[in-house]
Amino acid sequence: MKNLSAFLIILLLISAGAALADNADPPESVVTEAVEELEVRRAIDLEASDTPEDEGGSVSLTWLMETEGVTPDSLGVMRSDPFGGEEHITTLPVGTVMYRDQSANNGTEYNYWVVSYLGGTIEACSDRAVAISSAQWIYRGRIGMLIILFLIMAVIIYYIEIGKRGKELFIREIAGLTAVDDAVGRATEMGKPVLFIPGIMDMDNIQTIASIVILGRVARKTAEYGSPLLVPTCRSVVMSVAQEIVKEGYLQAGRSDAYNKENIQYLTDDQFGYAAGVDGIMVREKPAAIFLLGCFYAESLILAETGRSVGAIQIAGTAMPSQIPFFVAACDYTLIGEELFAASAYLSREPKLLGSLKGQDAGKLFFLILIIVGVIAASIGDFWSPMKSVAEFLRNLVTVN
């Protein structure tokens, strides 16, 4: 009996040991299956390179994703520098295969890698790629524009030189500008001031620059005729420039004693605050001539209508397409768009400005021909394919990427 009991105990122990051994060492096929279930897709073929044709500080990364495995929740772009510092740059949604690191320092060698997040932890990691960011001088996407600009500049310089040699450069009559002297003369006869409004933008605006050039001419005329010239400005820098220009105009007319810088005032930077202030000046000073030249926005009609109500002759000019209609409706003369920029050359007759205007005309002629040839080529191209490529070439010539 004892032997039987001992045999049974040994048999149980062997069975238990076998069972334990089964748990500790499962069949190989079961292990492989479990590991495959845990594998998370990772980024492969990671490439890092300096972003081409930029000002530097940027590295472009591209990669592919493994097709087999568990899809991660998100991807993370990691970076390390030669000093050992590791940093997480950004988190990207799954499916992203490119990223541009805009925070790189030029000349520093960075190691990049992409990690796969699952449940908030890093589950897979790509191989590493190395890149150094640098700046380039040339951006090839604008070479077409550069060539055209150089051509126009060459033509402008050519005409300036011709003008300097004394050859007369013809500029057609611009109606609003021939009235400038009449307007100042009218103000003188009536014993009333001339009001010049140089728009509401600062000196970095091309229209304000054009307006200030015309102000110089108006200032000289008012100095010659002895009429007060009022220039309320919306920007402090414009006030400073206007004071210089008007002073220069009075000096050229030999009337520096008549210059009063208090007549050139800064009101406020606020658009409608400025409009209210200028309206007040109009109704109180009752100018006989008002010049509204420069960049205007919604205040244009407020100013032009008030000027009209006080009976002033008004000459306006702006390159703002949405404001030109108001000036056309409420003013006596309106310089439309580029006429404002041509005004300075027209009034001064200086060879430099006239040459510049002639050069711009040459540019317009070039674009005019380009458009006509392009349209003909595109239209014929619908029936005869070789012409299509001509139209495409012309389009590419004026394309800026």
Partner 1 sequence: MNWEILGIWLGAGLTLCLYSFLYRDNPFYKFAEHLFVGMSAAYWVIYSIENVLIPNWWQQMFPAGGGFNWVWIFPGIFALFMLARIIPKTAGLSRMALGMIIGTGAGLNMVSFFQTNAMAQVKGTIISVSSGGVWIIFSNILLVVGVVTGLVYFFFSKAHTGIVGKTANVGITILMIAFGASFGYTIMARISLLIGRCQFLLEDWLPTIPRLLGLGG
Which listed residue (171, 190, 251, 258) binds partner 1 by CB under 8 A?
171
Give, in order, the Cα–Cα distances in Å from 66 to each of 36, 70, 89, 94.
Answer: 14, 10, 22, 12
Give yes or no for residue 342 binding partner 1 (CB under 8 A).
Answer: yes
Give yes or no for residue 398 binding partner 1 (CB under 8 A).
Answer: yes
Give yes or no for residue 364 binding partner 1 (CB under 8 A).
Answer: yes
Give, in order, the Cα–Cα distances in Å from 345 to each of 43, 139, 154, 198, 218.
Answer: 63, 34, 18, 17, 14
How many binding residues for partner 1 (CB under 8 A)? 73
Which listed residue (205, 233, 263, 356) binds partner 1 by CB under 8 A?
205
Mask of contacts with partner 1, 290-309, x by CB under 8 A? --------x--x--------
In terms of DSSP bridges, do strands 86-93 and 74-80 run parallel, antiparallel, or are they unpaired? antiparallel
Which listed residue (89, 155, 231, 267) binds partner 1 by CB under 8 A?
267
Which listed residue (228, 336, 348, 352) binds partner 1 by CB under 8 A?
336
Joined tokens for residue 39 = 């594998």
Give yes or no for residue 276 binding partner 1 (CB under 8 A).
Answer: yes
Give the CA dihedral 4, 7, 9, 13, nearest 10 degrees: -170
Give yes or no for residue 394 binding partner 1 (CB under 8 A).
Answer: yes
Give yes or no for residue 257 binding partner 1 (CB under 8 A).
Answer: no
Kindly state the smallest distance separating residue 399's Cβ from partner 1, in Å: 6
The residue count for the chain? 401
Q: By C-beta, is 97 or 362 nearer to partner 1? A: 362
10 Å CB burial of residue 48 (0-12, 13-18, 19+) is buried
Q: By C-beta, is 7 or 150 nearer to partner 1? A: 150
Using alpha carbons, select from 331, 298, 335 the residue that is nearest to residue 195.
331
Give yes or no for residue 339 binding partner 1 (CB under 8 A).
Answer: yes
Rounded distance, CA 294 to CA 162, Å?
30
Which listed residue (66, 73, 182, 361) binds partner 1 by CB under 8 A?
361
Give yes or no for residue 374 binding partner 1 (CB under 8 A).
Answer: yes
Type of residue found at 56: G
Are the beta carbons of 174 and 342 closer than 8 angstroms?
A: yes
Q: By C-beta, is 70 or 169 nearer to partner 1? A: 169
Mask of contacts with partner 1, 131-170, x by CB under 8 A? -------------xx--xx--------------------x
Which listed residue (48, 114, 129, 174) binds partner 1 by CB under 8 A?
174
For residues 68-105, one letter each, b for 16 or more C-beta atoms within 10 angstroms of the residue's C-beta and e for the rest, the string is ebeebbebbbbbeeeeeeeeebeebeeebeebebeebe
Kindly state the smallest distance separating residue 397's Cβ from partner 1, in Å: 9
Kindly state the smallest distance separating residue 325's Cβ from partner 1, in Å: 4
Q: Coil, strand or helix: which one is 176? A: helix
Give yes or no for residue 177 binding partner 1 (CB under 8 A).
Answer: no
